[in-house]
Amino acid sequence: MAYDNMEEYIDPSRYDIENQGHPELGLILQAISAIEGPIVDLACGTGRLTLPLAEAGFSMIGIDLHEGMLETARSKALARGLDIEWLQANALNLKLKSRASAFTMVGNSFQHFLTQEQQLNLLRQINHNLAPDGLLIFDLRFPSRAELATSAREDLAYTYKDQYGQQCSVYYESRYDPVTQIQHNTTYRVTKLSNGGKSTDDSRIDLRFTYPQELKLLLAQAGFELQAWYGSWNGVPLGEDYPSIVVVCQRGKNAC
């Protein structure tokens, strides 16, 4: 089977252990406070953001391409008694029944779109499915020198306890290609098993980095007006010292 760049999501419960918390929530709740219609959480994964937004009273639609991630999101919503519409769809070919009032796309999902053509197509698809004045809020990692530096497998990144209480050590290896602006990453996980043995598990992911001025141009070409951008979900100014580019933009007046 052709490499689909989805190895990170093979085990959705592992994804949930490795990706906890909701740093996005404060800024997003503030930005969407006046919104009444449905909100699409695009590339929603296991619903890390979709669920708390539904709990806050918003009418949510969660869209993702990965069946396993979406299935996990669906069962978590069911367990919490939340009424959320889940759709398995490709963000590059979006056809909603009616236009949404806002889109969110978090967890750096924008970096899954590996060429400018794909990024532009993605932004246009969102634009076409947004109501007039609708909002798009998303994030990507800032292309700082530290972020793009080559990292070797030997360096331990962090450790955590898996769902069976076993200690897992995580190592990253990454190589950035400055021509394509794609970072090729491998995550190596070494777990000390409770029976005294050891298991290893590797996953690869390619991520595209985008520079702020390039992003501005892409947004304008796709019919968006930039409202604000930040260096993290805490609302700090954009810059090399901060981890993210957090974008709040609005469907432009002249968008079709």
Ligand X SMILES: C[S@@+](CC[C@H](N)C(=O)[O-])C[C@H]1O[C@@H](n2cnc3c(N)ncnc32)[C@H](O)[C@@H]1O
- The SS3 call for residue 72 is helix
Q: Whose Cβ is closer to ligand X: residue 90's or residue 199's? A: 90
For residue 209, state whether it binds ligand X (rule: CB under 6 A): no
- The SS3 call for residue 33 is coil
List 28, 39, 52, 64, residue binding ligand X (CB under 6 A): 64
Q: Looking at 26-34, 61-69, 163-171, 223-231, which segment touches ligand X (CB under 6 A)? A: 61-69
Q: Which of 145, 140, 107 is nearest to 218 (CA)?
A: 140
Write down the least CB distance from residue 227 to ligand X, Å. 21
Contact 166, 193 (CB under 8 A): yes
Write down the least CB distance from residue 1 to ligand X, Å. 16
Q: Which of 146, 38, 127 is nearest to 83 (CA)?
A: 38
Q: Whose Cβ is closer to ligand X: residue 192's or residue 204's? A: 204
Write down the least CB distance from residue 55 to ligand X, Å. 16
Write down the least CB distance from residue 179 to ligand X, Å. 22
For residue 45, state whether it binds ligand X (rule: CB under 6 A): yes
For residue 102, state whether it binds ligand X (rule: CB under 6 A): no
Write down the least CB distance from residue 24 to ligand X, Å. 8
Residue 148, number of CB atoms within 10 A of its CB = 18
Write down the least CB distance from residue 90 to ligand X, Å. 5
Q: What is the DSSP string of 137-198?
A: EEEEE---HHHHS-B-TTSEEEEEE-TTS-EEEEEEEEEEETTTTEEEEEEEEEEE-TTS-E
List 27, 39, 44, 135, residue binding ligand X (CB under 6 A): 44
Q: In whole angstroms, what is the distance from residue 177 CA to residue 181 CA?
A: 5
For residue 12, state whether it binds ligand X (rule: CB under 6 A): no
Q: Looking at 25-33, 85-93, 162-170, 235-243, which segment touches ligand X (CB under 6 A)? A: 85-93
Instruction: Go through 136-146 and write b for each residue having 16 or more CB atoms within 10 A of its CB, e for each that does not.
Output: bbbbbbbbeee
- The SS3 call for residue 236 is coil
Which CA distances in Å does 114 have to 27, 119, 190?
A: 27, 7, 29
List 84, 91, 148, 245, residue binding ligand X (CB under 6 A): 91
For residue 92, state whether it binds ligand X (rule: CB under 6 A): yes
Residue 79, number of CB atoms within 10 A of its CB = 9
How many residues touch ligand X under the rule CB under 6 A: the total is: 19
Q: Whose Cβ is closer to ligand X: residue 65's or residue 182's? A: 65
Select the residue whose beta carbon is closest to ligand X and give its number: 107
- Tell me which residues touch ligand X (CB under 6 A): 9, 19, 43-45, 48-49, 64-66, 69, 90-92, 106-109, 112
